[in-house]
């Protein structure tokens, strides 16, 4: 695809959760592609660190912004800042900010943790989409990338609050894609399994679940840089679903074609889990 037809070259982009992990990788890769990137994160120091890394690159520009995506007022401020900074509409939004939560079955999670997790992982995506889609549509040729997870369809035990949020992100993305069919707005939803980030450390995950996640991530996780680059390339090709790992593809296929076998396997896994 030529650069003239690319949505990820020389773009005016907003990336949430850009202070670390996949969000930082997206911001860096967009800057390498000549883009101007607003790096939004709830942690201002992390956002500034990402901008400092971009400043060392031969291409791209970046601006740090403190933003809690669970707060509508802060999303409103982010959208206004983006339009003012770019001197026009945003052309690419990457809804990435998210938190990990897991290790407890439904009935033991607690309403506070449900509200915290869904406020960021689901409502943050909803707020971002509601506020930025008018800008993206006004821009004409534009893009939206939502970061979900294989959890959106895997239904792993003791991960309900995370699963529900990511399932909502998947449905949100599919709906916006249908509403945008025939227009110049492209939509992509990323559904990875383990990526080497700090999501397990920063989230609300039980100690035993954290140790398990970190072990699996260490040996099977893809690098955030690889995931970000592959997702941007897929977005340029107009790809709706990005399921980057073989295990994610296997889960998708098994659940679709052998749902009873899949569910029975989850039940067995739940009985064998150390928590």
The whole-number pLDDT of residue 221 equals: 57
The whole-number pLDDT of residue 269 equals: 76
The whole-number pLDDT of residue 195 equals: 64
Of 15, 19, 9, 103, nearest in space to 53 by CA = 19
CA distances from 264 to 209, 213, 270 (A): 21, 22, 10
**pTM for the structure as a whole:** 0.88
3-state secondary structure of 198: coil
CATH fold for the domain made of 7-249: Rossmann fold (3.40.50)
**Per-domain residue ranges of the chain:** 7-249
The whole-number pLDDT of residue 259 equals: 86
The whole-number pLDDT of residue 204 equals: 56
CA distances from 10 to 2, 41, 93, 190 (A): 12, 22, 14, 21
The whole-number pLDDT of residue 214 equals: 54
pLDDT along the chain (275 residues), means of 10: 75 97 97 98 98 96 98 98 98 96 93 97 98 96 96 91 97 98 97 67 54 51 88 98 89 87 82 64
The whole-number pLDDT of residue 184 equals: 96
The whole-number pLDDT of residue 268 equals: 82
């Amino acid at each position: 695809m030529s650069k003239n037809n690319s949505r990820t070259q020389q773009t005016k982009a907003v990336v949430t959760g850009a202070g670390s992990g996949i969000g930082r990788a997206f911001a860096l890769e967009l800057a390498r592609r000549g883009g101007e990137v607003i790096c939004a994160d709830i942690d201002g120091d992390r956002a500034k660190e990402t901008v400092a890394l971009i400043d060392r690159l031969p291409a791209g520009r970046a601006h740090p912004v403190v933003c809690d995506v669970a707060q509508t007022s802060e999303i409103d401020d982010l959208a206004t800042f983006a339009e003012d900074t770019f001197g026009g509409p945003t052309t690419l939004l990457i809804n990435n900010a998210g938190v990990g939560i897991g290790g407890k079955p439904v009935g033991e999670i607690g309403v506070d943790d449900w509200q915290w997790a869904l406020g960021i992982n689901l409502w943050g995506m909803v707020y971002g989409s509601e506020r930025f889609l008018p800008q993206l549509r006004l821009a004409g040729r534009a893009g939206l990338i939502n970061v979900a997870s294989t959890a959106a369809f895997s239904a792993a035990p003791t991960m309900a609050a995370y699963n529900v949020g990511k399932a909502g992100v998947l449905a949100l993305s599919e709906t916006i894609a249908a509403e945008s069919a025939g227009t110049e707005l492209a939509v992509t939803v990323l559904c990875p399994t383990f990526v080497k980030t700090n999501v397990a450390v920063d989230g609300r995950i039980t100690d035993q679940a954290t140790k398990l996640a970190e072990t699996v991530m260490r040996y099977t996780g893809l690098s955030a840089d690889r995931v970000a680059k592959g997702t941007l390339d897929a977005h340029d090709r107009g790809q709706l679903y990005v399921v980057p790992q073989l295990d994610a593809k296997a889960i998708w296929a098994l659940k679709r074609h052998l749902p009873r076998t899949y569910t029975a396997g989850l039940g067995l896994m739940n009985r064998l889990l150390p928590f």
